[in-house]
Amino acid sequence: MSASSAYESVYAAALESPERFWSDAAQRIHWDRPFDRVLDDDRAPLYRWFVGGRLNTCFNALDRHVEAGRGDQLALIWDSPLAGAKLTLTYAELTERVARFAGALAAQGVERGDRVLIYMPMVPETAIAMLACARLGAIHSVVFGGFASAELAKRIDDATPKLVVSASCGIEPTRVVEYKPLLDAGIAMSKHTPSRCIILQRPQAEATLVEGRDLEWDAALEGVEPHACVPVEATDPLYVLYTSGTTGEPKGVVRDNGGHAVALSWSLEHIYGVEPGDVFWSASDVGWVVGHSYIVYAPLILGATTVMYEGKPIGTPDPGAFWRVIEEYGVGVFFTAPTAFRAIRQQDPNGEHIARYDLSKFEALFLAGERCDPDTLEWARAKLGVDVIDHWWQTETGWPMVANCLGIEKLPVKPGSSARPVPGWRVEVVDDVGAPVPANTVGNIVVRLPLPPGALPTLWNADERFERAYLSRFDGYYQTADAGYLDEDGYLFVMSRTDDVINVAGHRLSTGAIEEVLAEVPDVAECAVIGVADALKGQRPLALLVLDANATRTDDEVGDDCKQRVRDRIGAIASLSHALVVKRLPKTRSGKILRRTMRSIADGEAYDLPATIDDAAILDEIAAALEKKRR
């Protein structure tokens, strides 16, 4: 690639003078008071951005667009095949609703710096509650709707919210999930007790209210005045989002107001290629970081139209659900997880449902949340005929670290790679003692400090834990806990979490590399590889396979094919202990495969049932199948 390319020029500018680069980017944001310093390194490695600046994130997301004469533009499109309902709100309408709910929160005593826990489904009121907190300078902490009571209690105790906003229920394709009993149990289990709960009553289920504590959404709005935006420090927290660990105490990732607004506005334009007025859709959930960044905040701060979807990629009603939404609303850029595409492909391998819809306005598909295997990427490219971009980031980083930045320059695509580091992110690969490794050598993926604006500055009330968890292992770096390699062109290949690198007779093997081979096997729709204990070799890889709906071969035939291909492509050292066909893979509700839990099952070890699992029954089926194989 030419050193004078647009991408190289922008990346070099961010590398050579990050303070000038981010100061320029910050001019796209409205500041109530300009910042004194772009980067404060007085407490390194606890860096802070835009110190001295004052702003309001809600004003940047809503009011300023209305004041600029764009109040009639659509801000939010809500589409719920599960509820059989739709709603559109212009910037003016959304601003009015947010201002009134901010008034309702203020009437209940919520002030700047207070925490508000939001436990809601994918409804417009969830975004309204988040933005209303931002309007007041309060700190929201969104917990994924339907989360287990014990995990909810941990988050209540850590965040100590003054108030909880919740709903009577969420909706799944086969059932209604009542939230209120879960919330009541969570509050009963917690040491901290919120003073008030505001409950949105949905028609699918009516919640029983606790007298003196609970207030219906509509009742909370009665007689309140719209509340103005409250300016806060750029370094004040906007939200706390807890990472979904399987054990131990949750980690509260802090996102500040100033760096967050600057980074998200810049990223949506320069990474995703979105401009004000465009329709952007992220098919995630507001309970996850993707929902925070790219359903609610980035599109609105930039002045785009965002889509909020309460549905699934399949079954609502068929594998054409995504294409229906894209056609109906003229979506130009779409962001979802690879697991969604594997589900669609499994049900519609020939792409027949895609052909039913007019996708002429659809320009680019972005995939993230887990590693995208090359076979899935190539299938999406072939069936959709648009740019398909795998990119990589984490809850902690808040926005992409590595991507093909369509808003700067479209780089050549290398299937299996997330492309090159985004300007502002200095991504490197090191060995276990922190020394750089040669190109094409798997190692620990790290990011040189300071992290750019928008990344977590710390954990909630836990600076020491933040340093210990992320900054202590490799001096001067943020530890991503992902493993992979940079090739000779600077493209990053994220292969697995660090603990998913398996050691077979002294050889370090990437589970992601094995999964790449398996994904190319005919009849395999989805796969996961885990390392299981082996008395002779230490570990051996085990493959779990989900077959296409129209697979023509038997389970044993597909399994034998998989075993042979792994031996041929990677070598005998990577020979699979088993290739087990299952109905589906166990995943969290955000789509992450529960590899660690499956490894514990395979090794006969005790394990905690993750609070975020979408379908616990499949774990029992896998355990029974593995036991049968062992016999």
Q: 43-81 burial, b for 16+ CB within 10 Å, e for fewer? A: eebebbbbbebbbbbbbbbbbbbbeeebbebbbbbbbbb
State how far the alpha carbon of 28 is from the alpha carbons of 95, 213, 261, 263, 549, in Å: 20, 42, 9, 10, 48
CB atoms within 10 A of CB 208: 11
For the cut 50, the answer to whether the pLDDT of residue 247 exceeds it is no
Q: 223-237, 242-256, 273-287 — which is least confidently predicted?
A: 242-256
CA distance 208 to 28: 46
Is the confidence at residue 120, as pLDDT, over 90?
yes
pLDDT band of residue 626 (cuts 50, 70, 90) is: confident
- Percent of the chain, pLDDT > 70? 95
4 Cβ contact partners less than 8 Å away, ≥ 6 residues apart: none
What pLDDT was estimated at residue 220?
98
| Cα 174–chain centre separation | 24
Q: Which of 54-58, 244-248, 596-600, 625-629 has the highest mean pLDDT?
A: 54-58
pLDDT beyond 90 at 244: no
Residue 613 clears pLDDT 70, i.e. is over it:
no
Is the pLDDT at 607 greater than 80, yes or no? no
Residues 563 and 576: beta-carbon distance below 8 Å: yes
Q: Which of 371, 623, 394 is nearest to 515 (CA)?
A: 371
Residues in the chain: 631
Task: Tell me: pLDDT of 391 over 90.
Answer: yes
Indicate whether 485 pLDDT > 70.
yes
pLDDT of residue 508: 59
State the chain's mean pLDDT as an integer.
92
> Can you list the domains of the chain with their CATH numbers?
6-311+391-485 (3.40.50.12780), 505-630 (3.30.300.30)
Region 146-168: mean pLDDT is: 92
> Quick one: pLDDT band at residue 329, thresholds 50, 70, 90?
very high
Per-residue pLDDT for 210 more than 80?
A: yes
Q: Is pLDDT at 456 greater than 70 in this prediction?
A: yes
Quick one: DSSP state of residue 112?
T
Residue 1 pLDDT > 60: no
For residue 539, what pLDDT is reported? Answer: 81
Q: Which of 233-237, 324-328, 422-426, 625-629 has the lowest mean pLDDT?
A: 625-629
> Which of these, 571, 518, 567, lies nearest to 546 by C-alpha position?
518
Give me the pLDDT at residue 3, please. Answer: 45
Q: Give the pLDDT confidence score for residue 384 in this predicted structure.
A: 97
Going by C-beta distance under 8 Å and a sequence separation of 6 or more, which residues neighbour residue 146? 121, 170, 177, 179, 182, 589
The tokens 């996102």 sit on which residue? 255
CA gap 630, 617 in Å, rounded: 21
227 vs 250: which has the higher pLDDT: 227
Q: For the segment 59-68, what is each residue's pLDDT rounded down to a tens digit?
A: 999 999 999 9
Q: How many helices (H) and strands (E) does the chain have?
A: 20, 31
Residue pointed to by tokens 């935006």: 229
pLDDT band at 522 (very low <50, low <70, confident <90, very high): very high
Lowest mean pLDDT of 121-135, 542-556, 571-585, name the range: 571-585
- For 106-111, what is the mean pLDDT? 98
Q: By percentage, how much of the chain surpasses pLDDT 90?
A: 76
